[in-house]
């Protein structure tokens, strides 16, 4: 027998194995084909059973969840008051958690089956009219997709006796079935419905029109895997002899080296992702190559960690540079960046700028220390951030000043946000920090609205100025704590104008700039002029700065005690020059911070010593600012011992209350003009409250002073209530020198002459 070459033998060997492999393959393919047909038939039957069960469960679930949505109060409300139907349909119903999974459209129908149309005229994919009676649950083909429609009645009462309308739900059938259960046999991607377009069928007949294919069975996949493995093994066996050497060399040397080279080259790519460039962790069979692989893998791990640290440090630095360390709020730098971004992008229509300022924070900081001041500021920031929406940014733009920008807003929404912020701060108990007085904030709001942006183009710079003016207006004593910019707030420009600020500072340095006006306070019921209240104004650069512009600046700049000293010096000047006649009494307003200031008390004691024959009344204003009640009470006692009378001013407004009356040793209580005018303009209940409070204060041993008397009828009421003093335009305007009270109208004098103090018993109507 002729010998054969290794090549020929190898070829013969390969040929024999190839023939055997083909024969076995034909046999296996035939057997697998038969089994595959049987499994397909069984899987098809099982798939339809799965879909039928899912359809039954889907109908029950959709009906149950739809009934919950139909019973929802907001659903009923839309059928009665459909003004916010579009908002309910597009937002509220999806946020409620009542919507069945997979629902793509929701609609409401009136009792006649007509679709509710939203005011915006939006297009809805739901039918515009329901047949009578409306169907319950049906299937429909639309645009080559199958949908499940569910229509449920909406009743106004639990007994289902009052029909309001109908609720419609639209759900893609395939997605809805996918939410019901997991399918082992049915292939939902193949689900089809043999219905013409726009035709419908009740869900109970769904399986008559549904076609679904079965998934490839696990058995078939297993057989295919076995066949592939068998063919692969046979192929390897045939080629093993010929390719063993090449395979061995390729596996042990060539392929690992190529892999290492490719991964090392990837590390040099400057644009590559270090986190994705991981060397293969599978160990290599050659020790030297494995050492190289480990070395490069360790190097890459350290490089990736360094890269992550650099990225995190960069993010932390960027965030810290734009955050306030104390409060966690964004700082002024972030505010200015966002502010410039709004200006550059032009996205500042329907924008609200809200400024928050902590009232009298310097007094808190000076009295209780910086630690308490920091805690107060941090708490205010926390409460404000809690009141804002998650996406709204809070900025700390000053020591005690915060701001926020609300986009896509209107006046009502901005008012709601401001009120929520004020309520959050006011409801917090700051006594835990040792404070004895409430912490309040003033809020200024300025808006750019879409309806005004066309005719009146407002810049961001102008918006910030307006918010500043509104905030200063909110800081006025006795005023609203939330003020929106309006033309009426333009008079607050003096607070931010250099001339007004300079006037206040110059008057503190030179009391000659202060011009005092005096308003008479009369004794009742004789209408005898007993003393005059001193009212401060400033003459600066030929302009008279009025009190309503002075005191917000004084409070905003924490100049209360300094201005009190200037006013006392101005009154001493009027006494020395005779502008305030000898023997005429005078009432001096002293601020809350002033009554606890040693210099102010010494100045008052000096005035009392130099004017022993003059009646001097010290009116204590801004009682909410008195943070050292013991010191205030001791100072008042010193003034009373020196001959002064003490009066609690503006009783009934702001934070003046019975608590302060019980805490401070005063002689007179001045009812605020707002309470006094209730005796004529208020409701019977309001008049009764004022009457009862007056009776209680008189019973406690205090004399009452009524502010704002402008008519004879009001004068008669306060005399009968037992007020001992009165003050107001009825007795004359404030003047540079106190004048004698002119005789009033004959009718008023007659009414007063017949009235005796305390004639009105508690609970007696005034009219």
Predicted pLDDT at 97: 82
- More confidently predicted of 698 and 261: 698
Rounded Cα gap, residues 249 and 251, in angstroms: 6
Question: Domain spanning 330-485 has what CATH number?
Answer: 3.30.70.270
Predicted pLDDT at 751: 44
pLDDT in tens, 515-549: 999 999 999 988 899 999 999 999 887 788 888 77
Average pLDDT over residues 444-469: 74
Average pLDDT over residues 654-667: 72
**Coil/strand/helix, residue 736:** coil
Residue for token digits 């002293």?
590
Rounded Cα gap, residues 536 and 564, in angstroms: 10
Average pLDDT over residues 49-58: 86
- Name the CATH superfamily for 511-753: EAL domain (3.20.20.450)
Helix (H) / strand (E) containing 241: helix 218-249
Percent over 90 (pLDDT), the chain: 25
C-beta separation of 554 from 545 below 8 A: no
- The two structure tokens encoding residue 313: 């440090």
Check whether 73 has a pLDDT greater than 80: yes
Q: Where are the beta strands (DSSP E) in 268-366?
A: 330-331, 351-358
**Residue 133: cis peptide before it, omega within 30 degrees of 0:** yes
CA dihedral 369, 372, 373, 377 (to 10 degrees): 170
Q: What is the DSSP letter of 735?
A: B
Predicted pLDDT at 190: 81
pLDDT bin (cut points 50, 70, 90) of residue 560 is confident
Rounded Cα gap, residues 545 and 514, in angstroms: 9
Give backbone dihedrals phi and psi of 96, rounded to 5 degrees, phi first: -75, -25
> Rg of the chain over CA atoms, in angstroms?
44
Percent over 70 (pLDDT), the chain: 77
**Coil/strand/helix, residue 683:** coil
Check whether 725 has a pLDDT greater than 90: yes
Check whether 334 has a pLDDT greater than 90: no
**Coil/strand/helix, residue 1:** coil
- The two structure tokens encoding residue 190: 């193949």
pLDDT bin (cut points 50, 70, 90) of residue 382 is very high
Rounded Cα gap, residues 146 and 377, in angstroms: 59
**Residue 763: cis peptide before it, omega within 30 degrees of 0:** no
Rounded Cα gap, residues 460 and 257, in angstroms: 64
Check whether 275 has a pLDDT greater than 50: no
**Coil/strand/helix, residue 14:** helix
Helix (H) / strand (E) containing 243: helix 218-249
Count the alpha carbons within 13 Å of 268 in the hemisphere toward its beta carbon.
5
pLDDT bin (cut points 50, 70, 90) of residue 743 is very low
Count the alpha carbons within 13 Å of 638 in the hemisphere toward its beta carbon.
18
Check whether 273 has a pLDDT greater than 60: no
pLDDT bin (cut points 50, 70, 90) of residue 2 is low
pLDDT bin (cut points 50, 70, 90) of residue 425 is very high
C-beta separation of 438 from 624 below 8 A: yes
- Specify which of 14-28, 214-228, 287-301, 703-717 reaches the highest per-range mean pLDDT: 703-717
Predicted pLDDT at 616: 95
Q: Which residues contact 415 (CB under 8 A, 6 or more apart)?
A: 445, 482, 484
Give backbone dihedrals phi and psi of 11, rounded to 5 degrees, phi first: -70, -45
Lowest average pLDDT, out of 123-137, 215-229, 573-587, 753-767, goes to: 753-767
Q: Where are the domains of the chain?
A: 35-216, 220-317, 330-485, 511-753
Q: Residue 402 pairs with which residues in a beta bridge?
A: 356, 396
Residue for token digits 């082992």?
184
Q: What is the DSSP letter of 390?
A: T
CA dihedral 369, 370, 375, 378 (to 10 degrees): 150
Lowest average pLDDT, out of 396-400, 453-457, 723-727, goes to: 453-457
Average pLDDT over residues 259-277: 58
- Name the CATH superfamily for 35-216: PAS domain (3.30.450.20)
Rounded Cα gap, residues 96 and 88, in angstroms: 10
Check whether 655 has a pLDDT greater than 60: no
Lowest average pLDDT, out of 70-79, 121-130, 675-684, 744-753, goes to: 744-753
- More confidently predicted of 495 and 59: 59
C-beta separation of 694 from 762 below 8 A: no
pLDDT in tens, 283-294: 666 676 677 777
Predicted pLDDT at 274: 46
pLDDT bin (cut points 50, 70, 90) of residue 755 is very low
Check whether 277 has a pLDDT greater than 90: no
Rounded Cα gap, residues 424 and 400, in angstroms: 17
Average pLDDT over residues 324-330: 89
Rounded Cα gap, residues 556 and 708, in angstroms: 27
pLDDT bin (cut points 50, 70, 90) of residue 402 is very high
Q: What secondary structure does DSSP assign to 533-594, as a single string?
A: EEEEEEEETTEEE-HHHHHHHHHHTT-HHHHHHHHHHHHHHHHHHTSS-TT-EEEEEE-HHH
Cα distance between the two ends of the chain: 144
Q: Which long-range contacts (CB under 8 A, 24 or more apart) does 686-695 make?
A: 687/765, 687/766, 687/767, 688/763, 688/765, 690/652, 691/721, 691/760, 691/762, 691/763, 691/764, 691/766, 692/762, 692/763, 693/652, 694/721, 694/722, 694/723, 695/721, 695/722, 695/762
Total Cβ atoms within 10 A of residue 124: 17
Rounded Cα gap, residues 743 and 740, in angstroms: 9
Rounded Cα gap, residues 317 and 323, in angstroms: 10
Rounded Cα gap, residues 330 and 492, in angstroms: 28
Average pLDDT over residues 234-253: 64
Predicted pLDDT at 740: 47
Q: Which long-range contacts (CB under 8 A, 24 or more apart) does 513-517 make?
A: 513/538, 513/539, 513/540, 514/538, 514/539, 514/566, 514/567, 514/570, 515/539, 515/544, 515/736, 516/567, 516/570, 516/571, 516/574, 516/579, 516/580, 516/736, 517/734, 517/735, 517/736
Count how many residues are written for the chain.
767
Q: What is the mean pLDDT of the chain?
A: 80
Check whether 625 has a pLDDT greater than 70: no
Predicted pLDDT at 707: 92
Q: Where are the beta strands (DSSP E) in 383-466?
A: 394-396, 401-407, 441-448
**Angle, alpha carbons 498-499-501 (nearest 5°):** 65
Rounded Cα gap, residues 530 and 349, in angstroms: 58
Check whether 716 has a pLDDT greater than 60: yes
pLDDT in tens, 151-204: 989 998 888 888 889 999 888 988 888 888 888 888 888 888 888 877 888 888
pLDDT in tens, 694-713: 999 999 899 999 999 999 99
Rounded Cα gap, residues 443 and 339, in angstroms: 19
- The two structure tokens encoding residue 327: 């409060």
- The two structure tokens encoding residue 27: 């046999």
Rounded Cα gap, residues 624 and 591, in angstroms: 10
Predicted pLDDT at 750: 40
C-beta separation of 444 from 483 below 8 A: yes
Lowest average pLDDT, out of 142-146, 413-417, 636-640, goes to: 142-146
Predicted pLDDT at 489: 75
- More confidently predicted of 582 and 120: 582
Count the alpha carbons within 13 Å of 437 in the hemisphere toward its beta carbon.
25
Q: Residue 589 pairs with which residues in a beta bridge?
A: 619
Predicted pLDDT at 453: 47
Check whether 754 has a pLDDT greater than 50: no
């Amino acid at each position: 027998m002729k010998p054969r070459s290794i090549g020929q033998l190898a070829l013969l060997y390969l040929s024999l194995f190839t023939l055997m492999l083909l024969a076995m393959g034909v046999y296996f393919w035939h057997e697998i084909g038969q089994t595959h047909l049987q499994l397909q038939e069984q899987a098809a039957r099982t798939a339809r059973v799965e879909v039928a069960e899912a359809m039954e469960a889907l109908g029950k679930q959709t009906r149950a969840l739809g009934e919950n949505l139909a019973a929802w109060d907001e659903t009923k409300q839309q059928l009665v008051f459909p003004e916010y139907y579009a908002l309910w349909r597009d937002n509220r119903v999806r946020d409620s958690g009542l919507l069945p999974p997979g629902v793509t459209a929701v609609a409401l129908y009136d009792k006649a089956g007509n679709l509710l149309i939203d005011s915006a005229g939006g297009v809805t994919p739901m039918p515009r009219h329901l047949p009578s009676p409306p169907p319950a649950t049906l299937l429909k083909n639309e645009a080559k997709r199958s949908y499940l429609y569910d229509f449920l009645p909406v009743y106004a009462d639990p007994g289902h006796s009052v029909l309001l309308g109908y609720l419609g739900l639209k759900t893609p059938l395939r997605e809805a079935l996918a939410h019901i259960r997991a399918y082992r046999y049915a292939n939902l991607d193949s689900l089809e419905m043999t219905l013409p377009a726009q035709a419908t069928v009740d869900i109970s007949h769904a399986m008559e029109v549904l076609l679904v294919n079965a998934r490839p069975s696990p058995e078939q996949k297993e057989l295919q895997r076995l066949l592939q493995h068998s063919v692969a093994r046979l192929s390897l066996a045939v080629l093993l002899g010929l390719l063993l050497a090449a395979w061995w060399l390729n596996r042990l040397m060539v392929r690992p080296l190529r892999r290492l080279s490719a991964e090392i080259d990837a590390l040099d790519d400057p644009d590559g992702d270090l986190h994705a460039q991981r060397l293969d962790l599978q160990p290599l069979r050659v020790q030297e190559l494995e050492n190289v692989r480990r070395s490069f893998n360790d190097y890459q791990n350290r490089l990736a960690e360094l890269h992550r640290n650099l990225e995190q440090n960069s993010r932390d630095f960027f965030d810290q540079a734009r955050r306030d360390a104390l409060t966690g709020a964004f700082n002024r730098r972030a505010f200015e960046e966002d502010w410039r971004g709004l200006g550059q992008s032009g996205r500042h229509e329907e924008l609200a700028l809200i400024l928050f300022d902590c009232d009298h924070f310097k007094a808190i900081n000076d009295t209780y220390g910086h630690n308490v001041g920091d805690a107060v500021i941090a708490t205010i920031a926390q409460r404000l951030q809690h009141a804002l929406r998650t996406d709204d940014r809070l900025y700390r733009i000053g020591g005690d000043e915060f701001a926020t920008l609300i986009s896509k807003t209107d006046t009502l929404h901005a008012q709601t946000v401001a009120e929520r912020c004020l309520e959050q701060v006011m409801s917090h108990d700051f006594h835990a920090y040792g404070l004895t007085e409430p912490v309040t904030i003033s809020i200024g709001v300025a808006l750019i609205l879409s309806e005004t942006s066309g005719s009146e183009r407002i810049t961001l710079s102008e918006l910030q100025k307006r918010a500043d003016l509104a905030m200063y207006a909110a800081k006025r004593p006795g005023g609203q704590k939330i003020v929106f910019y309006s033309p009426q707030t333009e008079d607050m420009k003096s607070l931010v104008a250099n001339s007004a600020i300079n006037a206040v500072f110059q008057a503190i340095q030179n009391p000659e700039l202060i011009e005092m006006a005096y308003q008479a306070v009369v004794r009742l019921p004789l209408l005898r002029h007993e003393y005059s209240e001193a009212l401060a104004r400033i003459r600066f650069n030929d302009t008279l700065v009025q009190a309503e512009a002075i005191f917000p600046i004084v409070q905003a700049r924490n100049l209360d005690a300094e201005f009190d000293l200037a006013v006392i010096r101005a009154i001493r000047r009027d006494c020395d020059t005779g502008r305030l006649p000898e023997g005429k009494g005078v009432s001096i307003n002293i601020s809350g911070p002033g009554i606890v200031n040693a210099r102010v008390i010494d100045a008052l004691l000096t005035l009392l010593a130099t004017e022993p024959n003059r009646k001097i009344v010290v009116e204590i204003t801004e009682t909410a600012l008195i943070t050292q009640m013991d010191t205030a009470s001791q100072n008042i006692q010193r003034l009373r011992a020196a001959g002064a009378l003490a009066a609690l001013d503006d009783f009934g407004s702001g934070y003046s209350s019975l608590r302060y009356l019980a805490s401070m040793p005063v002689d007179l209580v001045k009812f605020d003009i707002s309470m006094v005018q209730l005796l004529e303009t208020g409701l019977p209940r309001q008049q009764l409250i004022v009457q009862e409070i007056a009776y209680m204060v008189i019973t406690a041993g205090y004399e009452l002073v009524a502010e704002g008397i402008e008519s004879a009828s009001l004068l008669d009421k306060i005399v009968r209530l037992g007020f001992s003093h009165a003050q107001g335009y009825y007795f004359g305007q404030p003047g540079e020198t106190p004048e004698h009270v002119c005789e009033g109208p004959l009718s008023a004098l007659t009414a007063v002459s017949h009235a005796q103090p305390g004639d009105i018993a508690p609970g007696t109507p005034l009219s």
